[in-house]
Structure 1
Amino acid sequence: MQLSMVVPWGRCFKEYKEIFSLSQADLQVNILGCGDGPASFNAEATAAGAKVISVDPIYCFSANQIESRVNEVSHNIAQQLKENASNYIWSTFQNVEAVVSARLAAMKDFLKDYESGKKEGRYVEASLPLLTFKENQFTLALCSHFLFLYSEHITEEQHIAGVLELCRVIKEVRIYPLVTLDGRPSPYLAPVIEAVTSAGYSAETVAVPYSFQRNATEMLVVKSV
């Protein structure tokens, strides 16, 4: 991976709770955050007593390198948000400035925790569809803003292989959102559901209380039967 290809953009613990409808019981189990990037979910959840391991290929870089890249791209991301404001629902955030402020705060919290978290094994360099974990090592996986969102960049086969790999190491998988970057339903949702149900898992779409990207109102929940 080249750092110039990375667009780091992290979300906080509060957003994760709403995005994945996380209950207090959910936060008591072993959690895998897949594609967490510079989100502060791991840092905040760990501070609250949760057991979380995050995986992302970006974790091959140092905190200074990631911070430098954040500073490089944040202005461009803010500009894109302004240009595409109609693609978002402005209730969770009042305006673009509020979004950028929240994201930068989350990434700051991540960066404070990152180096110590790597030493503790909480941030692991890895990417789908290959995870170096044992079968059923985790109870819950949270995959935020990766699968389905980037349907133009990740093939149907890669989606299926990635979700099946998550199912191998986790008893329950939650994926959000189920739309592409432009807010259209991902064409790979139906094939993924067919593949996991054929493999013996249950799958359903579930409404979530989080609202920001237009049409992104549901998550996919896949469970061992």
Structure 2
Amino acid sequence: MQLDDIVPWGRSYREYRAMFTLTDEDLGGRIIGVGDGPAAFNAEAHARGQDVTSVDPLYAFTPEEIRSRIRTIRPQIEAGLRANPARYVWDHFPDIEALIAHRLDAMERFLEDYPGPGISARYRAAGLPRLPYEDGAFDLALVSHLLFTYSDHLGAEGHIEGVQELLRVSREVRIFPLLTLDGNPSPHLDAVTAHARAAGWNAEVLPADYIFQVGGNRMLRLSRPTA
């Protein structure tokens, strides 16, 4: 994958806690963030003594390359926000300037922590549908703005393959949001939940403590039944 194909845009630890309704008990387990990009969640969790591993194709690039790419795509992100402000709920952030500042702070926190490709086991250049971990390596997998978000690029079978892999490496999976980039409900949610239940997994759509996209305050929680 080329860096020009990636739109790196990261969120903070506070946002992750709200998006996935993470409790202190959740944060005490082994967590994998899939598609974390330049989010600050790993860095801030590590500073708190929490066990978080992040995987993303972005981690094949150096901090300097990622920083340069963020500078390049920032005007594009900001222009999209200004063109469509009614698509978003301005509760967590009072305005676009505050949102941009918060995200830039989060990404800078990531860049201060991320040492570069292959240096830290906390950051692995990998992604779905194949994760380089053993079965049951994690207690909780978090997927932020990847599955369902890119429903135009990944079909129902790709989503199902992705959640199967997530449940191979983790006993529980939480996916947020359940909307596409355009703010529409993902057409693949029903197929994923139907497959999950047919496979004997637990699947439920739950409210999240976070909303930015209009209608985007729900997450999908999947888990394997306990023996």
Is the 2:54–2:123 Cα contact (8 Å) retained in structure 1? yes
**1:127-206 alignment, distance < 5 Å:** 127-206=127-206
Instruction: Tell me the distance in 1 between the aligned counterparts of 2:198 and 2:91.
Output: 39
What's the TM-score once normalised by structure 2's chain length? Answer: 0.97
**1:1-225 alignment, distance < 5 Å:** 1-115=1-115, 119-225=119-225
Q: Moved runs in structure 1, 4+ residues, more than 2 A?
A: 116-120
Instruction: Tell me the distance in 2 between the aligned counterparts of 1:223 and 1:91.
Output: 31
- In structure 2, do the counterparts of structure 1 residues 202 and 137 end up closer, same or farther at CA, with 3 Å as the change threshold? same
- In structure 2, do the counterparts of structure 1 residues 116 and 46 end up closer, same or farther at CA, with 3 Å as the change threshold? farther
Tell which deviates more after alignment, 12-21 or 193-202.
193-202
Q: Give % identity.
A: 46
Listed as ranges, the gaps of 5+ residues in structure 1 are none
Give the total of aligned pairs. 225
Instruction: Tell me the distance in 1 between the aligned counterparts of 2:121 and 2:172.
Output: 22
Instruction: Please tell me the residue identity of whatever aligns with 2:114.
Output: Y
Instruction: Tell me the distance in 2 between the aligned counterparts of 1:112 and 1:118.
Output: 16
Offset at 1:118? 5.0
Listed as ranges, the gaps of 5+ residues in structure 2 are none
- In structure 2, do the counterparts of structure 1 residues 116 and 64 end up closer, same or farther at CA, with 3 Å as the change threshold? closer
What's the TM-score once normalised by structure 1's chain length? Answer: 0.98
Offset at 1:141? 0.5
Partner of 2:171, secondary structure, is: strand
- In structure 2, do the counterparts of structure 1 residues 17 and 218 end up closer, same or farther at CA, with 3 Å as the change threshold? same
Instruction: Tell me the distance in 2 between the aligned counterparts of 1:52 and 1:118.
Output: 16
Instruction: Tell me the distance in 1 between the aligned counterparts of 2:118 and 2:38.
Output: 13
Partner of 2:168, secondary structure, is: helix
Superposed CA RMSD: 1.1
